[in-house]
Chain A
Amino acid sequence: MSEVSAAPRTLRFTLNGHAAECTVAPHETLVDVLRDRFALGGPRESCGQGLCGCCTALVNGAAVSGCLYLAAFADGAEIVTVEGLAAGDTLSPVQEAFIEAGAFQCGFCTPGFILMTTQLLKEHSDPSDDQIRHYLSGNLCRCGTYPQIIEAVKLAARKLNAA
């Protein structure tokens, strides 16, 4: 067994397209590091158990629960938060679709849903209802906006396929 070290370590990764570096303790989670070191407000800790998806970030294109994912694992990775989806003033097709379908109310869970949808549509350009429900089953919306979210995912797929 390798030696376990509590010593802080320096991570280098790409964050929303830019090179980033920070020193973290082994117990620090990705959501804490993104919020505390990089002042990002998109990833949010809510349930603290990896069940609600509010803390979602994309690590090498795959959505992770930032409250359970240790920051140290991000070394060398490409990390995207909701802040990294728009190109300047141009929203991503998923972001546009969420607005057009009215797919949020309080908006607290929205970054997580948008990131998970981004991954879904990269892997399935024309997802079935069951695939949508499968991919989004780890995101909770207490305002209950699921019907409009499903509509937004389908709209985003059409936008991406038309592009």
Chain B
Amino acid sequence: MNDVMPAGQIGRSLPRVEARAKVTGRAEYIHNLRLPGMLYAKIARSTIPHGRIKRIDASAAAAMPGVHSVVTGEDILKVIPEPYFGPAFHDQPILALGKVRFAGEPVAVVLAEDPKIAETASQQISIDYEELPAVYDEVEALTSTAYVHEALKPAGMFADLKHLAGKRDTNVALDYHLRRGDVDKAFAAADHVFEHVFRTPQQMHTPLEPHCAIADATSAGITVHSSTQTPSSVRVEIARLTGLPENRVRVRTAFLGGGFGAKVYVKMEALAVALSLLARRPVKVALTMEEQFFTISKHGSTFRIKSAVTKDGRITARYCEVIYNGGAYADIGPRVAQKSGFSAAGPYDIEHVAIDSFETYTNRPTAGALRGFGMPQLVWAYECHTDMIARALGLDPVEFRRKNLLRDGLPQATGTVLRDTATDAVLDRIVQRIGWGQPFDRGGGTIRRGRGIAIGMKASISPTTSVATIAVSADGSATLYCGTVDMGQGSTTALAQIAAEALSLDAEAVRVVAPDTDTTPYDMGTLGSRSTFHMGHAVRRAAEEVRGKLAAMAAEAGVPAGTNLPIAEIFRRKYGMQAGTIVGSGSFVPDYVPPNHDTGLTPNATPYWMSGGSGVEVEVDTETGQLRILRLVNVADCGTPINPKIVETQLTGAAVMQLGFTLSEEMVFTDGQLRNPNFADYKIPGIRDMPERLDGEAVASRQESGPYGAKGVGETGTFGVSPAIANAIEDAVGVRITELPITPEAVLRAIRAAAGDPLGDE
């Protein structure tokens, strides 16, 4: 474990500050909120994947007792004249206007006094369409003449997307290109060239608290209660849509019943606001689990990767072509394609690198951020590829990685130099904990065992801003105001610990106010594992300002410097009674240099890198393709863990989630219609799907640029799981799976195909 001050707040595994509220059922979730006079909304959704809306007949629904009104896209125009939203592109209508672009798109809404009435009435809305040709596959989208959008509409938020404005006849929402060295020359001169293609399916976050937003529009302004990870960004977007100043839009949240990226940027909030503006009453838009599948998802992807390797096992060149399936609306997908594009070549020291990363539009439900922002898809491909090369050259997969590892102090593919990146320590710990290279029971007959490892590395978020405020009351107690949303990652606890450390208090003595844009200052969002680092810095700076002001107040009150007088006594000397408040604020904006448009290179792509990896031991039944995970160890470099217990839980939890994405989860479509938007048909991991042994570990490391040496860890545990499992399967039975999920059927098909006895078609 890391060196920590024994009496300090950093490195303390205190239970979550809200633990008691969570075990008594009293923790607040927006899911539980009801307002007086509130109407319930139920969405009627498109039944076709692409088409023009010819007619909407809502008369039967509107006539039902208990129905307040039926709202369509045309009605929205009365209150929001430009009703298109999105963080990267303003391409998504609040309700479909003229066209639908995926089966499941919101077309109309019933407002009713009772949610059951709204649901029944929504089924009475009749919508006629003229169907249009559609495109579903990301590779086909590159060349298809079925265009999802007439023209690209980049938003103003990201300056480097402006050149895309108005571009027509394309399904490519964003293309990112990186060129380092001369890959063509390196490939021509190579001893060996390896090329493979890997795919991942569209998948869903399935937070157990489904998306929920309540809007209350009055003449004084708009209040939105939302299960959002990004209250500040939602406020900015609602202010833009309604034309109100930011101070007339209040966005607040509570604890989130899971987020995982599903709840970043506007989701249901714009619809709730429009409905409340129309009805002049509070309106709740609460999705069902099924509806979440039509709201946001994880990109399916196709990744073609090609490497040049010398005969002694040095990778000299790598080409990566990544095609993401972004679905019908951009959401934050273009950033996924760009930011993950930075790191598509993996944590290896490669002289010549070329990367082409594409975000495509298709007629599927929208894809956005999901715990890793594209990296799990990329690590899946490059770590399978890395293992396949090692095996083809007869090299030990660990030694091959060590030989090519991108070590601290070296420039990453973008040109950004690694600082305090402990990828080598991550690899070493996986090797130790899994017992790599040591003999183990490989099974026999129809039961075979194998081991695999994988490592990955991700850039953090930039450009971005976090602001925090700390108030100290006259009794010496401290309150932290910040917009970081606790969705289970333990940020409330970790940030209380950082504030307490800086103020020389116990973490339990710091109260953390839930995000509310009326009181908590701006924060871009709780995403990309950024809060510990970015908000942690802002909190630390706010605490330092508070300390400075306390010292000044003490001096003013005639208290000698270095006094051990309690803070409450200093307040009393200054104000003559228990009165007064000291407020300090801090902000953090990391340095960033945007990538060069032509080369994709930048000396400063990210304020820090996150490394993580996995080691697994699997058992394969060669008769059935059934897989058992006997052992899974997830190791991460998160700098100094602020709360080691929560960090460990993050790492094992991320492993469990990624096990689902690896072994069972897939959104299955037929002709653009999603067939399995529910837990009966979309299988997420349960307690019986646990590996027999599962461990999480943070390596001893320190991010010098981070608050108290810390950096983020929310996503890191997702990187290595999928490729480590595929690598272990090859180790066990000699077959290679190149597409997720790795179902028993997929394993059996591969085994039978390798044996020259393929299974028939599905």
Check B209–A46 contact: CB distance below 8 A: yes
Check B655–A82 contact: CB distance below 8 A: no
Stretch of B55-63, B189-197, B250-258, B338-346 at the chain-chain interface: B250-258
Check B646–A102 contact: CB distance below 8 A: yes
Number of interface residues of B (CB under 8 A): 57
Q: Indicate whether B32 reaches chain A with its CB closer than 8 angstroms.
A: yes
Q: Indicate whether A49 reaches chain B with its CB closer than 8 angstroms.
A: yes
CB 8 Å contact bits of B282-309 with A (1 = contact, 0 = none): 0000001110000000000000000000
Q: Indicate whether A22 reaches chain B with its CB closer than 8 angstroms.
A: no
Q: How far is the CA of A104 from the CA of B20 in the complex (A)?
A: 11
Check B22–A81 contact: CB distance below 8 A: no
Number of interface residues of A (CB under 8 A): 49
* Chain B residues with CB below 8 A from A143, complex form: 258, 488, 653, 657
Q: How far is the CA of A111 from the CA of B29 in the complex (A)?
A: 13
Check A91–B684 contact: CB distance below 8 A: no
Check B645–A108 contact: CB distance below 8 A: no
> Which residues of chain B (664-717) have a CB below 8 Å from chain A?
678-680, 684-688, 690, 694
Stretch of A7-15, A36-44, A68-76 at the chain-chain interface: A36-44
> Which residues of chain A (87-123) have a CB below 8 Å from chain B?
91, 95, 98-100, 102, 104-111, 114
Check B694–A140 contact: CB distance below 8 A: no
Q: How far is the CA of A106 from the CA of B22 in the complex (A)?
A: 8
Contact A106:B25 (CB < 8 A) given known A54-B208, A91-B20, A145-B649: no
Q: How far is the CA of A145 from the CA of B18 in the complex (A)?
A: 16
Check B652–A106 contact: CB distance below 8 A: no
Q: Indicate whether B487 reaches chain A with its CB closer than 8 angstroms.
A: yes
Q: How far is the CA of A107 from the CA of B209 in the complex (A)?
A: 10
Q: What is the count of residue pairs linking A and B with beta-carbon distances less than 8 angstroms? A: 158
Check A95–B690 contact: CB distance below 8 A: no
Check B255–A49 contact: CB distance below 8 A: no
CB 8 Å contact bits of B628-660 with A (1 = contact, 0 = none): 000000000000000001100110111111010
Q: How far is the CA of A48 from the CA of B654 in the complex (A)?
A: 25
* Chain B residues with CB below 8 A from A100, complex form: 15
Check B258–A106 contact: CB distance below 8 A: yes
* Chain B residues with CB below 8 A from A140, complex form: 208, 679, 684, 686
Check B656–A144 contact: CB distance below 8 A: yes
- Closest A residue to B487 by CB, please name it: A106
Contact A147:B15 (CB < 8 A) given known A49-B679, A91-B23, A105-B490: no
Q: How far is the CA of A133 from the CA of B649 in the complex (A)?
A: 19
Q: Indicate whether A64 reaches chain B with its CB closer than 8 angstroms.
A: no
A contact patch SS = loop
* Chain B residues with CB below 8 A from A148, complex form: 649, 652
Nearest CB in chain A: distance from B586 CB, A? 27
Nearest CB in chain B: distance from A157 CB, A? 16
Q: How far is the CA of A95 from the CA of B19 in the complex (A)?
A: 10
Choose among A99, A106, A147, A150 the residue that contacts B256 (Cβ–Cβ < 8 A).
Answer: A106
* Chain A residues with CB below 8 A from B15, complex form: 99-100, 102
Choose among B25, B27, B684 the residue that contacts A142 (Cβ–Cβ < 8 A).
Answer: B684
Choose among A40, A91, A105 the residue that contacts B653 (Cβ–Cβ < 8 A).
Answer: A105
- Closest B residue to A94 by CB, please name it: B23
Q: Indicate whether B24 reaches chain A with its CB closer than 8 angstroms.
A: yes
Q: Indicate whether A47 reaches chain B with its CB closer than 8 angstroms.
A: yes
Check B25–A111 contact: CB distance below 8 A: yes
* Chain A residues with CB below 8 A from B29, complex form: 41, 44, 108
Q: How far is the CA of A41 from the CA of B22 in the complex (A)?
A: 11
* Chain B residues with CB below 8 A from A40, complex form: 25
Check A99–B23 contact: CB distance below 8 A: yes
CB 8 Å contact bits of B15-37 with A (1 = contact, 0 = none): 11011111111111101100000
Known pairs A102-B16, A104-B488 / 12 extra A-B pairs, C-beta < 8 Å: A41-B29, A41-B32, A46-B289, A47-B678, A99-B19, A102-B13, A104-B23, A105-B653, A107-B27, A110-B22, A146-B687, A150-B687
Q: What are 7 residue pairs bridging A and B, where the CB atoms are less than 8 Å apart in the complex? A: A42-B24, A44-B31, A47-B678, A83-B24, A99-B15, A142-B208, A144-B653
